[in-house]
Amino acid sequence: MSHIHIPDGVLPLWLWVAGWIAAIVVVTVAGRIASRSEARRKVPLIGVVAALMIVAMSSEIVPLAYHVNLSVIGGILLAPALSAITAFIVVLVLAMLGHGGVTVLGLNAIVIGAEMVIGWALFHAVLRALGRSRAAIGAGVATVFTLAITTTLVVGIVWLGGAGEAAERETGALDPATMRFENPFAEGVFEFGLFGGKDHGPDDYEDGDEAGRYLSAGRFAAVVYTLGPAGWLIEALVTAGIIGYVARVRPKMVFEGPLAEEHHRIPGDESGGH
Amino acid sequence: MSEHTGHAHGHASLDAVVYVSCVRHSYEDGTTVHLCGLDFLVKRGQRVTVLGPNGSGKTTLLYHLLGLLRSHEGEVRVFGVDPSREWPKIRRRIGVVLQNVDEQLLAPTVADDVAFSPRQYGMAETEVVRRVDDALAMLGIAHLHDRVPHNLSGGEKRKVALAGALVMEPELLVLDEPFEGLDPASRDSLIELLERLSTEQGTTIVMSTHDIDSVPEFADYAYVLAPGGAIVFSGTPEAVFSQADLLAEGNIKPPILAELFAALAHAEADAPPPALSVDHAVEALVRWRRGE
Amino acid sequence: MHIGRIDESATLADSWLHRVSPVSKLLAFALVLGAAVSTWNALVVGSLALALVAIAVSARLRWRLLLTLAGYPAVFALVFAFSAATSVLGGVTIVLKAVTAALAAVIVVLTTPYPYVFAPIQRIVPTIVGDALLMTYRSLFLLLEKFGNLITASRLRAGLTTGHPVRSARATTRALGGLLIYSFDLSQRSYDIMRMRGYEGRLHVTLPRSTDRRVDVALVTGALALLGVSLTWRLGYQALNPYSWVLPIVPVLAIIATLLTKEKAA
């Protein structure tokens, strides 16, 4: 659940605008840092990793609609500054394909970016403890913890937005006279039009702000923490498999980053071809 | 036709555009390519082909010319400088089309891709537009102007890449397997185009190819590489294709006409000298029949 | 994610919407998105969605692709609505909002080649980010093709087990590992090529001009009108809500009219 699959227009304005601002600041700073050295080499590198994550997200790992994100792998390989840029690009491209909202893009970039950076940090911490020979296990462990953390981050965002409660409150229109949000259903118009006069009046959800907030965020948390762990495990297994493989074939890439080695693999007759 | 001997005069020669001598490159997987034996020398205006079986280091040789690989021994000179160190000095004078054209097209549309280098070199936009239109017209692909490269056919992509290389009107054109993926008509028109560039603009051309038949049609000098990178032979196409043993050793199948004349020479004592183009072959055979 | 088919629709098909300038389309998209976000009236959002359908029909977009792409976020919105909304109508509104926003984005990408979608964005973000964004989409096609080959090879080696989840997952993982290695080699080669071709930072994309400026103006004005309606209904809900049922009629009529003229044309 690294993606916030929160539709456009559910979170309150201040929250997604704040997400956008935070993302812009992070990306600008990361862009500055990344441009300091070898910027030209990094452009295609970010491009392929972002593309790789998008390909992974678009291919089901089991015929059961679970897609991996490869964000921890991306993070391990790119280190924080490039990760932040990559996360932003990934969510931007996905949003234009209708996958993930545009308004929540900033928040999504923060969540995926956090996932990459935390994954990178945990992987290296675990490596220090376990040693390089256990790169695969390290990557798997790092992935589980990272996803648990970022899922909590998502739940936190939903809680901040007071998702359900906010939705209900803002279901009303802004009353220009009082500058307060009022519930339009009080008039009974939609109930009549859409649900044949079925009555669920305002009493259902005017239980006070805090109660509503805990209620809906709690339900959301219950859903993601139930569905989540299975996903974390799959992602961890995939991550471990891939990192294990790459650590065997190209150890430098995993332990020192892809910019460390300047290997030339020539397409065509001289390539070693693994 | 050039008659130089290949290794005697080195890069001191005034009109040498490319000079490579005993370069070694080791790949990460342990493969070593040692481009030694004869020196590799290309003079201004020459059309040179590099022949060799898979794994002989043709691409490695070209990568050295382009400064993509840096050798720790031997010498590489292009326009008098070491390309791996001073590439920015000479890159404007060199046009390149590598094997995997898919990966070579960088910009998202054909016109923008062809305009890539001129724009990076800071040319005025009107000049860029003129050059792009000229290059596209030269290759007969003006209609692809606004297309997105990745859904073009292989042959079209190759032409776009070539347009991107020709747009700077390079003095030296380096082509790695340029005929790959081209249908016979496109291949013939490419040979014709290269011919025109060579005669009209004096462009120096270096290409590696598997298309043996193109060698007599196109090249006026050929180098033969053996597995591992040894440069085992150089000379005019006629001279190269008369070395049947050498070619067999290098796993190179000579053009069918060369084989025909070699077989004739084997069977008949008075067989005519080899001819590598159809016209020349007809002429030689007719004369032979008349007993001239 | 049907990237190949999206690209095909954007680059090879043609319609009035294809000929509108990309900047106008992005502007209209932003306005429609604003309209969808600012309302909480199910009928208003529904009407917005219908208006977008009318546009899609008039541009003869492939409806099945359109529905698949717009339906994907609907599934997630449903999960979200189920877990967060406290009333049925609220849930319906959440789903409709997601579908409307996705429809708007998808209509843009189905009628605009990706370089033109991302070029305006590239111009306003830091160079390294903008260039990497353009390189991402380019790499995507190369990787997708390679991935297709790898997964076929991997499945064949595993003994063609469609439906066997564990083996299929293993095959996918192996293919992804191979793809990762390929990606880095690709990035290295791309760098080589960029260096050879004189890359100094800043990829350049020339944006196409609109063939008819009046269409651009009409599109943006229309989008502005939608935002206007949405905001008006939100602000003046007390007076206007009883008349909300009027809203869907307009786009429905537009859809019928488009279908009729289309039939006549055919």
- Specify if B282 maps to a domain: no
Q: Tell me which H or E stretch contains A174.
A: strand A174-175
Judged by CB atoms closer than 8 Å, whether chains meet at A195 and C129 is answered as no
Distances from the Cα of B168 to the Cαs of B111, B118, B140, C99, C193, in angstroms? 14, 7, 17, 48, 15
DSSP state of B208: E
Structure tokens at A39: 């910027």
Q: Is A36 on the interface with B (CB under 8 A)?
A: no
Rounded Cα distance between B115 and C211, Å, is: 23
Residue B16 β-bridge partners:
B43
Provide the pLDDT confidence category of residue C164 given band limits of 50, 70 and 90.
low
Work out the percent of chain B whose per-residue pLDDT is above 90. 35
Task: Check residue A60 and give its pLDDT.
Answer: 54
Half-sphere exposure of C187 (CA within 13 A, CB side): 27
C98-140 pLDDT per residue, tens: 899 999 999 999 999 888 999 998 988 899 999 999 999 889 9
Provide the pLDDT confidence category of residue A62 given band limits of 50, 70 and 90.
very low
Mean pLDDT of chain B: 85
Judged by CB atoms closer than 8 Å, whether chains meet at C204 and B66 is answered as no
- Specify if B169 maps to a domain: yes
Task: Check residue A224 and give its pLDDT.
Answer: 73
Q: Is A132 on the interface with C (CB under 8 A)?
A: no
What does R_g of chain C's alpha carbons equal in angstroms? 22
Identify the contact set of chain B against chain C, taking CB-CB distances under 8 A.
66-68, 87, 91-92, 96, 98, 100, 102-109, 111-112, 115-117, 119-121, 146-148, 150-151, 164
Of C193, C196, C205, nearest to B108 by CB-CB distance is: C205
**Is the pLDDT at B246 greater than 50, yes or no?**
yes
Q: Is A29 on the interface with C (CB under 8 A)?
A: no
Q: Looking at per-residue confidence, does A55 or C99 come out higher?
A: C99
Task: Check residue B8 and give its pLDDT.
Answer: 41
Q: What is the DSSP string of B37-49?
A: BSPEEEETT-EEE
Of C83, C102, C173, nearest to A220 by CB-CB distance is: C83
Mean pLDDT (whole number) for C89-100:
87
Judged by CB atoms closer than 8 Å, whether chains meet at B28 and A272 is answered as yes
Q: Which residue has the tokens 């409709």?
A: C96
Q: Is A68 on the interface with C (CB under 8 A)?
A: yes
Residue B78 β-bridge partners:
B18, B81
ipTM of the complex model: 0.89
| Domain span including residue A27 | 13-256
CB A115 within 8 A of CB A1: no
Residues of C in contact with B151 (CB under 8 A): 7-8, 11-12
Task: Check residue A86 and give its pLDDT.
Answer: 96
What does the buried/exposed string (b/e) look like for C56-69 if buried means 16 or more CB atoms within 10 Å of the residue's CB? bbbbebeeebbbeb
Neighbours of A64 (CB within 10 A): 10
A113-159 pLDDT per residue, tens: 999 999 999 999 999 998 888 899 999 999 999 999 988 888 888 78
CA angle A72, A74, A76 (to 5 degrees): 70
Q: Looking at per-residue confidence, does A137 or B240 come out higher?
A: A137
Gap from B37 CA to chain A (nearest CA, Å)? 19
What does R_g of chain B's alpha carbons equal in angstroms? 20
Q: Which of B86, B61, B27, B72 is nearest to B174 (CA)?
A: B61
Q: Which residue has the tokens 């332990």?
A: A255
Task: Check residue A113 and give its pLDDT.
Answer: 95
- Specify if A53 maps to a domain: yes
Please report the beta strands in chain B, taking only residues with DSSP state E, as ranges in sequence order: 16-21, 23-26, 32-35, 40-43, 47-51, 75-78, 94-97, 172-176, 204-208, 221-225, 231-235
Task: Check residue A84 and give its pLDDT.
Answer: 96
| Domain span including residue B202 | 10-236
Mean pLDDT (whole number) for A12-31:
93
B40-53 pLDDT per residue, tens: 999 999 999 998 88
Which amino acid belongs to residue C220? Answer: V
C21-46 pLDDT per residue, tens: 999 999 999 999 999 988 888 889 99
C172-231 pLDDT per residue, tens: 777 888 889 899 888 988 888 888 888 887 888 888 888 889 999 999 999 999 999 999
CA angle B239, B243, B246 (to 5 degrees): 130
Number of structural domains chain B divides into: 1
Rounded Cα distance between C166 and A237, Å, is: 11
Q: Is the dihedral of CA B103, B106, B108, B109 positive or negative?
A: negative
**Is the pLDDT at C6 greater than 50, yes or no?**
yes
- Specify if A261 maps to a domain: no
- Specify if B262 maps to a domain: no
**Is the pLDDT at A173 greater than 50, yes or no?**
no
Task: Check residue A193 and give its pLDDT.
Answer: 31
Mean pLDDT of chain A: 75
CB B251 within 8 A of CB B53: yes
Mean pLDDT (whole number) for A171-197:
38
> Strand B40-43 relative to strand B16-21: parallel, antiparallel, unpaired?
antiparallel
Provide the pLDDT confidence category of residue A4 given band limits of 50, 70 and 90.
low
Q: Which of B22, B199, B166, B25 is nearest to B96 (CA)?
A: B166
Task: Check residue B171 and give its pLDDT.
Answer: 95
Rounded Cα distance between B192 and B215, Å, is: 13
Q: Could you tell me which residues come within 8 angstroms of residue B111 by beta carbon, excluding any fewer than 6 positions away?
A: B132, B136, B145, B146, C206
Rounded Cα distance between B172 and B203, Å, is: 6
Q: Which of C115, C103, C21, C14 is nearest to C63 (CA)?
A: C103
- Specify if B189 maps to a domain: yes
Q: Looking at per-residue confidence, does B142 or A229 come out higher?
A: B142
Task: Check residue A212 and give its pLDDT.
Answer: 47
Mutate to test the interface with C, among A4, A10, A180, A182 (most CBs of C within 10 A): A10
Mean pLDDT (whole number) for A171-181:
40
- Specify if A6 maps to a domain: no
Residues of C in contact with A49 (CB under 8 A): 183
Span between the terminal Cα atoms of chain A, in Å: 33
**Is the pLDDT at B17 greater than 80, yes or no?**
yes
Number of structural domains chain A divides into: 1
Task: Check residue A191 and give its pLDDT.
Answer: 34
Q: Looking at per-residue confidence, does A96 or C171 come out higher?
A: A96
- Specify if A100 maps to a domain: yes
Q: Looking at per-residue confidence, does C131 or A166 come out higher?
A: C131
Q: Could you tell me which residues come within 8 angstroms of residue A173 by beta carbon, excluding any fewer than 6 positions away?
A: A181, A182, A184, C40, C41, C233, C234, C235, C236, C237, C238, C241
Rounded Cα distance between B157 and C102, Å, is: 33
* Helices C165-196, A209-249: crossing angle, 10 deg rounding: 70
Q: Is the dihedral of CA C190, C194, C197, C203 positive or negative?
A: positive
Q: Which of B263, C166, C241 is nearest to A188 (CA)?
A: C241
CATH code, domain carrying A222: 1.10.1760.20
- Specify if A63 maps to a domain: yes
Task: Check residue A263 and give its pLDDT.
Answer: 54
What strands lie across the sheet with B47-51, from one edge to the other?
B94-97, B172-176, B204-208, B47-51, B221-225, B231-235
HEC secondary structure over C178-208: HHHHHHHHHHHHHHHHHHHCCCCCCCCCCCC
Mean pLDDT (whole number) for B153-159:
89
Judged by CB atoms closer than 8 Å, whether chains meet at A8 and C186 is answered as no
Task: Check residue B37 and give its pLDDT.
Answer: 81
Q: Looking at per-residue confidence, does C149 or B49 come out higher?
A: B49
Mean pLDDT (whole number) for A250-258:
83
C46-64 pLDDT per residue, tens: 999 999 999 999 999 988 8
Gap from A36 CA to chain C (nearest CA, Å)? 11
Task: Check residue B153 and give its pLDDT.
Answer: 87
Which amino acid belongs to residue B163? Answer: A
Q: Could you tell me which residues come within 8 angstroms of residue B131 by beta carbon, excluding any fewer than 6 positions away?
A: B115, B118, B123, B167, B168, B169
Of B57, B98, B103, nearest to A270 by CB-CB distance is: B57
Provide the pLDDT confidence category of residue B231 given band limits of 50, 70 and 90.
confident
With contact defined as 3+ CB pairs under 8 Å, the chains touching A are: B, C
**Is the pLDDT at A69 greater than 50, yes or no?**
yes
Structure tokens at C57: 């029909």
Q: What is the DSSP string of B131-174?
A: HHHHHHHHTT-GGGTT--GGGS-HHHHHHHHHHHHHTT--SEEE
Rounded Cα distance between B195 and B197, Å, is: 6
- Specify if A131 maps to a domain: yes
Residue A174 Cα to chain centre, angstroms? 32
Residues of B in contact with A263 (CB under 8 A): 28
Rounded Cα distance between C94 and C192, Å, is: 48
- Specify if B38 maps to a domain: yes
- Specify if B265 maps to a domain: no
Of B102, B146, B151, nearest to C142 by CB-CB distance is: B102
Task: Check residue C239 and give its pLDDT.
Answer: 78
Rounded Cα distance between B22 and A20, Å, is: 57
- Specify if B247 maps to a domain: no
State the Cα torsion B248-B253-B258-B264 to the nearest 10°.
Answer: 60
Q: Please state the φ and ψ torsions of residue A266, each to the nearest 5 degrees.
A: -95, 130
CB A34 within 8 A of CB C125: no
Gap from C179 CA to chain B (nearest CA, Å)? 15
Judged by CB atoms closer than 8 Å, whether chains meet at B54 and A267 is answered as no
Task: Check residue A201 and give its pLDDT.
Answer: 37
Q: Is A177 on the interface with C (CB under 8 A)?
A: no
Structure tokens at A71: 């964000």
CATH code, domain carrying B160: 3.40.50.300
- Specify if A177 maps to a domain: yes
Q: Is C89 helix (H, G, I), strand (E, B) or coil?
A: helix
Work out the percent of chain A whose per-residue pLDDT is above 70. 69
Mean pLDDT is lowest, of A13-27, B10-24, C156-170, for: C156-170
Rounded Cα distance between C199 and A44, Å, is: 12
